[in-house]
Amino acid sequence: MKLEDKVAIITGAAQGIGAALAVGFAQEGAKLVIADILDGKRAVADVEKAGSEAIFVKTDVTKQEECDALAKAAVARFGNIDILVNNAAIFGDIVMKPFTDVSDEEWDRLMAVNVKGPFHCCKSVFSYMKNKGGKIINISSASIMEGVPFMPHYVASKGAIMAFTRALARELGDHKINVNSIAPGFTHSEGGDRFDHNKAVPIPPLEELQLEQRCIKRAAVPEDLVGTAVFLASHMSDFISGQLIVHDGGMSMH
């Protein structure tokens, strides 16, 4: 198993992509810490069904003290932190609309979760990783390659994640910590499907818009991301850092 006896924190893991990654990591032998503002009991049960152990720690990633408590809970239960996946983000509740209609409050709230959240979590786990190494995986978005309109705050936040990944990779390399990013395209999940119904502009569903532009012409589901995440979390990627892997069926190429 590629992640045997590793301890992974995954934020936003109560559902969707985060929950799928938790099960995938569990199948590869990792112990999981499920972090979310939503109830993570179902995700814990799914990890246990997959043959591993998990705990749920309710966490608001916009608050440094809660991220610190998350890291402490992981170490208290499992003795270590080897992997951090920064997946928590505001997406499903975004309403696509002209940028002039995006309020300061919407912008600030989204940036607090999508950008400040990973910053907080990285600070929280660093002291546990710095003497032995670790893997940090930040979830960005293929929207930064496509320039998707009508949600400038979201696209800007995910562009920031790409830049943050590169800067942190430079800083943490001497500590044997790899920092990489995955940029999914539109993915069918609880949040993704909810998002696709929230539009204040007359455009078709994103799946319909993207499908013909993909090399792989089918819908994307959370489980599609598991292999890439396991690779970046495992020893197989020990000489890879600061990279962005676009995961959108070949719609974007860079």
pLDDT per residue over 70-126, tens digit each? 999 999 999 999 999 999 999 989 999 999 999 999 999 999 999 999 999 999 999
Q: Which helix (H) or strand (E) holds 5?
A: none
Best CA proximity match to 178, nearest among 242, 88, 247, 87 = 242
CA 69 – CA 76 distance, rounded (Å):
10
Tokens at 103, concatenated: 């309020």
Q: Per-residue confidence at 49, pLDDT binned at 50, 70, 90? A: very high
First to last CA, the chain: 32
List the CATH number of the domain containing 195.
3.40.50.720
Q: How many alpha carbons lie under 13 Å from residue 176 in its C-beta half-sphere? A: 9
Contact 59, 72 (CB under 8 A): no
In a domain, 104, yes or no: yes
Q: For 140-176, where are the E strands, in sequence order?
A: none
- 25, 78, 150, 154: the catalytic one is 154
In a domain, 254, yes or no: no
Is 128 considered catalytic here? no
In a domain, 2, yes or no: no
In a domain, 1, yes or no: no
Count structural domains, the chain.
1
CA 10 – CA 32 distance, rounded (Å):
7
pLDDT digit string, tens, across residues 194-225 = 776 666 666 777 777 788 889 999 989 999 99
By residue range, what is the domain housing residue 206? 7-247
CA 22 – CA 35 distance, rounded (Å):
11
Q: Which helix (H) or strand (E) holds 247?
A: strand 244-247
